[in-house]
A and B are shown apart, each in its own frame.
Chain A
Amino acid sequence: MTVDVPADLSPELNFDTLPPEVRQLKEDARRFAQETVKPLVQQLDQAPAEDFDWDVMRRGHEIGLTRAAVPTDYGGLGLGMLGVATALEEVAAVCPGTALVFGATMLGQAPLLLSGDPRLQARYLPLFSGDEPVLACNAVTEEDAGCDLIIPANAPHARNVMTARRDGDQYVLTGRKRFITNARFAAFASVFANMEGSPGATGLTSFIVPLNLPGVVRGPVADKMGYRACLGSELEFHEVRVPAENMIGGEGEGMPINMAQSNMARAAVAGISTGVARGALEQAVAWAGERVQGGELLRRHQFTAAKLADMTAKVDAARLLYLHAANTVDTQLPPPAYEPAVAKLFADRAAVDVADAALSLVGARGYLRSYGVEKMLRDAYGTRIYEGTPEVLALTITESLYAEDDAE
């Protein structure tokens, strides 16, 4: 049965249907994942850390995964986080690392989307509208500062944060960022640096920094446990001069901007975590549907059935939570903190739980690198680290529980 879907996204989202343009990208992403990525999944996972498959990324770019959230006025698809999240779930069900390449690009674009500055947007967002793939990245984390740059109460205690100082019509950036997905190849980064003289990270300020500027050094690629299809590396800024008009908001306004973009992004990356869980579930379902023990298919054994039921419920619940979060983010500014944090917290746990259960269900074969299940468990641990650890998410959720819901 087909259902007519209204063109407009109503805040009261019908979870059984998606707007047609969102559904189109989801289908394209599924086809991309199954036809382009799946045949290469093992290769992408087991290649050396520095390897990056541009042919795969080109195909993802062609279907719009690098510009899903970019407004149509700048050549993008103009979909909100709902479009991004549902598409990333499809890709992550096969390869979360590939999904994160596109997720991190969206994260690098997010401050531009929130900037309300048409000139800044016109200079950078159309980059994604050509036929050659272009990536972006979001540069927040540092050697000594991770959560300290996303929890306002921690900001005064942050140490050795990258600095920015005003010099005429420019800002001069000095410092180093670590574990930045896409930094190796990104055209630009949204960078958060602390204004010189402000204690800790209390003067955190947001900039768009083209990564071909003098003084930018792309550092070594990290050899990660999972998410190996995407590259995480360092970015060094040696007195990098950035035009003043590349600042987003004002001096010292970077923390709320960082939090706002995190809230937007969490709704989408919860889709990646859900995809990890779903990918593991699919492998478990396939195995349990063909393996025979005790004269019966594994799925008919009660312990296995209980496991599969629990895994399925977690995947479905994770999906519903991220759909709700994405829809909420797409219909409210500032992006709410609560729904995306809940969605990511649950989906991250579901990813680890379901991947762990799948590995145990598949048994010895699941322990082999060639089978693919152990990869999903390694990837699942990664989802708990970026865009908010369980601890940070717990603090965010709890704060929301006690926040008063009023404008000033």
Chain B
Amino acid sequence: MTVFSSSEMASDVFGRLFDVLLEDEQFVEKARREALSVQLVHSKPDCRIFVSSEGVVHGEPPFKAAITLKMTCDTAHALWMGRLLVPAAIATGKVRIRGRIAKVLELVPMLQPAFDSYPAIAAESGVGV
């Protein structure tokens, strides 16, 4: 039994999460400066989200993303809730990343606003905690 009951629910929650990130000036400035774009490929249920300094796009990406993150929705939920820690998630292969890893490692510390916002976003959408 997964935390997200549908692809639409997952798209809504993770889309809103990245909207929060795009309100953070530091993140946007870095994303623009480094031409960073991220493609999230979630499964169970399927959900694809593309994020760049220009905004969030659901479904097919407008162009090939600089970084691709692949994980199940349950893994994503556990990560953003802080129950699954980033190094373990990466080391055990629960999260798989493709792209320029040096840039990924610089990006991760800037995700704090998303970590702060996620529990509320998930609760509002009725995602099981």
Contact = CB atoms under 8 A, between A and B. Distances in A.
Asked if A and B touch directly (CB within 8 angstroms), the answer is yes
Interface of A: 8-9, 11, 69, 71-73, 78-80, 111, 113-118, 121, 206, 248-250, 253, 256-257, 259-260, 329-334, 407-408
Nearest to B110: A118
Contacts of B102: 69, 71, 78-80, 330
A64 to B, nearest CB: 14
Interface of B: 43, 66, 70-72, 75, 85-88, 90-102, 104-106, 108-110, 112
A249 B106 contact: no
A256 B92 contact: yes
Nearest to A257: B91
Given A118-B109, A118-B112, A332 B96 contact: yes
A71 B66 CA distance: 17
A249 B88 contact: yes
B91 A334 contact: yes
Given A256-B91, A334-B91, 13 more contacts: A8-B66, A11-B98, A71-B106, A80-B100, A80-B102, A114-B87, A114-B105, A116-B85, A249-B91, A253-B91, A333-B90, A407-B43, A407-B72
Contacts of B85: 116, 249-250, 253
A72 B106 contact: yes
Contacts of B66: 8
Given A331-B100, A332-B98, A408-B94, A253 B105 contact: no
Contacts of A115: 86-87
A330 B72 contact: no
Contacts of B93: 334, 407-408
Given A11-B98, A331-B101, A333-B104, A111 B70 contact: no
Given A72-B106, A113-B105, A407-B72, A331 B91 contact: no
Contacts of B100: 8-9, 80, 330-331
B38 to A, nearest CB: 13
Contact of B88 (A71, A72, A78, A253): A253
Contacts of A8: 66, 100
Contacts of B75: 408
Contacts of A121: 109
A73 B109 CA distance: 10
B72 A248 contact: no
Contacts of A257: 87-88, 91
Given A72-B106, A78-B106, A79-B102, A256 B88 contact: yes
Nearest to A73: B106
Contacts of A407: 43, 70-72, 93-94, 96
A249 B87 contact: yes
Contact of B97 (A206, A259, A333): A333
Give the interface centre of B91, B93, B98, B110 by most chain A CB atoms within 10 Å: B91
Contacts of A259: 91
A31 B85 CA distance: 42
A36 B117 CA distance: 52
Given A116-B108, A118-B112, A80 B101 contact: yes
Contacts of B94: 407-408
Nearest to B35: A8
Contacts of B87: 111, 114-117, 206, 248-249, 253, 257, 260
Closest 3 interchain pairs by CB?
Answer: A118-B109, A116-B86, A256-B91
A260 B87 CA distance: 9
B88 A333 contact: no
A25 B26 CA distance: 29
A117 B87 CA distance: 9
B101 A329 contact: yes
Give the interface centre of B43, B85, B92, B101 by most chain A CB atoms within 10 Å: B101
B92 to A, nearest CB: 5
18 contacts: A73-B109, A79-B102, A80-B100, A114-B87, A115-B86, A117-B86, A118-B109, A249-B91, A256-B88, A260-B87, A330-B102, A331-B101, A333-B95, A333-B96, A333-B97, A334-B90, A407-B72, A407-B96
Given A115-B87, A116-B86, A408-B75, A331 B99 contact: yes
Give the interface centre of A111, A260, A333 by most chain B CB atoms within 10 Å: A333
A248 B88 CA distance: 9
B90 A260 contact: yes
